[in-house]
Amino acid sequence: MSTVDPAARIAELRRRIGEHNRAYYEDDAPIIPDADYDELVLELRRLEDEHPDLAAALPHPVLDRIGGAPSETFAPVEHRVPMMSLDNAFAVEELDAWALRLERRLEGRPVTHYACELKFDGLAISIRYEHGRLTQAATRGNGRVGEDVTANVSTITNVPKRLTGSAPAVIEARGEVFMPIATFEALNDDLRTRGERTYVNPRNTAAGSLRQKDPAITATRGLAFWAYQIGDIHGGPSFDTHHVTLDFLASLGLPVNPEMRVVTSLDDVKAYIAETHARRHDLPYEIDGAVVKVDELAQQRELGVTAKAPRWAIAYKFPPEEKTTLLRDIQVSIGGKGKATPFAVLEPVFVGGSTVGVATLHNEDQVRIKDVRPGDTVVVRKAGDVIPEVLRPVLEMRPKGLEPWVFPQTCPCPVGHPLTRDGDDAAHYCLNPTCPLQLDGWIEHFASRGAMDIEGFGERTVQLFTQHGLIGDIADIYTLDLDRVRELEGFGEISVNNLAGAIEASKRRPLANLLFGLNIRHMGGAVAELLAAAFGHLDRLAEATEDDLAAVDGVGPVIARTVAEWFADDGNRAIIEKLRAVGLNFEGPMTPDHDVEPVLAGRSVVVSGTLEGYSRDEAAAAIKARGGKSPGSVSKKTFALVVGADPGASKVTKAEEAGVPVLDEAAFGHLLATGELPE
């Protein structure tokens, strides 16, 4: 940066920030995440501080105008009491520094009470009531002049048109208009089904909704409001503390958020922030931090304000959950069943509290829908414990001539078997049964709990054995050279004997376990049970035609085809023969007219997203076969929501709100088998 001419950099930053201000404040359509914008502003602020002469001489200053120009659509409203902004803290040390500044200004008299609030991620509004009636609502604008959005704010259902209780002659309720997350997702779901462009985030959607020319449109958007401050006031009671002003606003019928907490030490402030951060994604609306205010109004008056913000308050901002970074490449990984999953190789970026270098892109269609291309600058999201996600490219930053990514035709392993796209889901597969990239995953799966249940045959052991050439396929487990195992580090006499015992015991597992262990695409544990019960012997199943298989209740055409194809493959047949030769049990109890128990009688189970073992129809058929229903949406009456890859976010939110259990595919298998929810 030091080699860059500061004048040129200031001009460049001013131009870019100006562009982003227009996109954000005037079009309600941000181009880059807030965190990236904040970085630009921070850099410009630093440069302008270092070079005040340049800052004054160069044209088009932007730092004093953040907040956007008042539009021409809405009449200007001059705020009688300016709507100030807040200073930010991004780390605990900055909070400490703020507290120290307070103490110094108060000449040693400590702040005894802090009011801690959520920092709502919406847009600031001032709502004026005269003699208890809503007379005007205005956006913040540049803090001095905002826009008159009275007609639109009047459509917000939790904003009272008339105050209750003893309303002063004049009172302005300052607060945040926002869009609840479920409302935002429902809106986007709707746009998606109509093939229209979706909105980027609830905050900008709320801003766009509030600035509609037609209030009837605003009325349909389900906006809501939290009051957090009094602006202008005449003829009201006098207050000593901020929290009492909030109680007063609530007594007038204004919505005040219940998460506000008055605390008596900075440590408690920090605890509030930590708790709020941890609960961030449990709230039905978005927050981007916490706001800490000195509670005593006398102290607030003493501390005063700067040109921009009150000294008595600070916004503690959570680490950003969205950042932009370079998409270096898109590569493909091969999973246990040969599934080829594209993933993004990113220029490592610190987001959501950790450094992210790779992120799944799920499948070819997702890459196409998102239209991300190697060389793009992309928006990456890492929210809480959720796996990192590439959201979208920043099209404005796409280099010219960047080609769309093409799914590779062959497996990335040295064998390079062709990858086949399955017609029914968007996934590609490597169908090479001896693919080295799949081998470890398959052996591990074969030995796992739901399959042959071989104790001690976990991921590390499998890797060790394949690396040393002790096993090359699942059947080799049964001819394992125990003397060579003894030579490996970490394998003493006892563990080798235990392993041998576990391997021997696994030979008698029922057919359903063996079938599940064969790792046949789409075949989960529940289908393995159905097939074992219907055919009773591996040989009969191996000889069955696609039609025979599809005739089994609960087995759909997709599974029928993959099972038939699997057994038709010479390599797989050879493995079956090896398993027979080492004496594995191929039989299972057979139920000729396989009747599944109606364990889900009268229950609704909703399925969302892509499951490994079932197509959507097969999952619905399996639920219905057990007497249940499988409707398309979640309600309070839903017994459980089963989620696969990429589930509908609004379904998950709805389920969580309604207290409906959310199950993964393994738990779904359990539910089908027993009718019970896992503990």
User: For residues 286 and 376, which CB has a smaller minimum distance to ligand IVH in the complex?
Assistant: 286
For residue 98, state whether it binds ligand IVH (rule: CB under 6 A): no
Is 382 an active-site residue?
no
- Nearest Cα residue to 589 out of 659, 532, 509: 532
**CA distances (Å), origin 70, targets 16, 77, 82, 149, 177:** 20, 9, 15, 12, 18
What CA–CA distance (Å, rounded) separates 240 from 250? 16
For residue 124, state whether it binds ligand IVH (rule: CB under 6 A): yes
Stretch that binds ligand IVH, among 16-24, 116-124, 238-246, 333-341 (CB under 6 A): 116-124
The single residue among 17, 44, 62, 86 that binds ligand IVH, judged by CB under 6 A, is 86
The single residue among 176, 295, 322, 376 that binds ligand IVH, judged by CB under 6 A, is 176
Are 612 and 649 in contact, with CB atoms under 8 Å apart? no
For residue 310, state whether it binds ligand IVH (rule: CB under 6 A): yes
For residue 291, state whether it binds ligand IVH (rule: CB under 6 A): yes
Supply the DSSP symbol for 272: H
- Give buried/exposed letters for 8-33 (b at 16+ CB in 10 A, else e): ebbeebbebbeebbebbbeebebbbb
Stretch that binds ligand IVH, among 114-122, 238-246, 410-418, 501-509 (CB under 6 A): 114-122
Gyration radius from the chain CA atoms = 31
User: For residues 117 and 612, which CB has a smaller minimum distance to ligand IVH in the complex?
Assistant: 117
**CA distances (Å), origin 597, targets 142, 517, 533, 673:** 66, 24, 13, 9
The least distance separating ligand IVH from the CB of residue 118, rounded to whole angstroms, comes to 6
User: For residues 124 and 622, which CB has a smaller minimum distance to ligand IVH in the complex?
Assistant: 124
Which distant-in-sequence residues (6+ apart) come within 8 Å of 80 by Cβ?
172, 231, 232
Stretch that binds ligand IVH, among 261-269, 310-318, 500-508, 644-652 (CB under 6 A): 310-318
What CA–CA distance (Å, rounded) separates 284 from 288? 13
For residue 313, state whether it binds ligand IVH (rule: CB under 6 A): yes
For residue 119, state whether it binds ligand IVH (rule: CB under 6 A): yes
User: For residues 181 and 313, which CB has a smaller minimum distance to ligand IVH in the complex?
Assistant: 313
Catalytic, out of 119, 317, 337, 651: 119
The least distance separating ligand IVH from the CB of residue 117, rounded to whole angstroms, comes to 4
For residue 525, state whether it binds ligand IVH (rule: CB under 6 A): no
- Nearest Cα residue to 431 out of 413, 444, 443: 413
Stretch that binds ligand IVH, among 81-89, 153-161, 274-282, 641-649 (CB under 6 A): 81-89
The least distance separating ligand IVH from the CB of residue 379, rounded to whole angstroms, comes to 22
For residue 44, state whether it binds ligand IVH (rule: CB under 6 A): no
User: For residues 235 and 304, which CB has a smaller minimum distance to ligand IVH in the complex?
Assistant: 304
Supply the DSSP symbol for 373: -
Burial of 52 (0-12, 13-18, 19+ CB in 10 A): exposed
The least distance separating ligand IVH from the CB of residue 314, rounded to whole angstroms, comes to 10
Angle between helix 649-658 and helix 181-193 axes, rounded to 10 deg: 140
Query: Encoding tokens for residue 170?
Result: 């004049």
**CA distances (Å), origin 81, targets 111, 140, 145, 231, 385:** 25, 11, 10, 6, 42
Q: What is the number of other CB atoms lying within 10 angstroms of the CB of residue 487?
A: 9
The size of the interface with ligand IVH (CB under 6 A), counted in residues, is 15
For residue 295, state whether it binds ligand IVH (rule: CB under 6 A): no
The least distance separating ligand IVH from the CB of residue 125, rounded to whole angstroms, comes to 8
Query: Which residues in this chain contact ligand IVH in the complex, by CB under 6 A?
Result: 84-86, 117, 119-120, 124, 140, 176, 228-229, 291, 310, 313, 315
Q: Which residues are catalytic?
A: 119
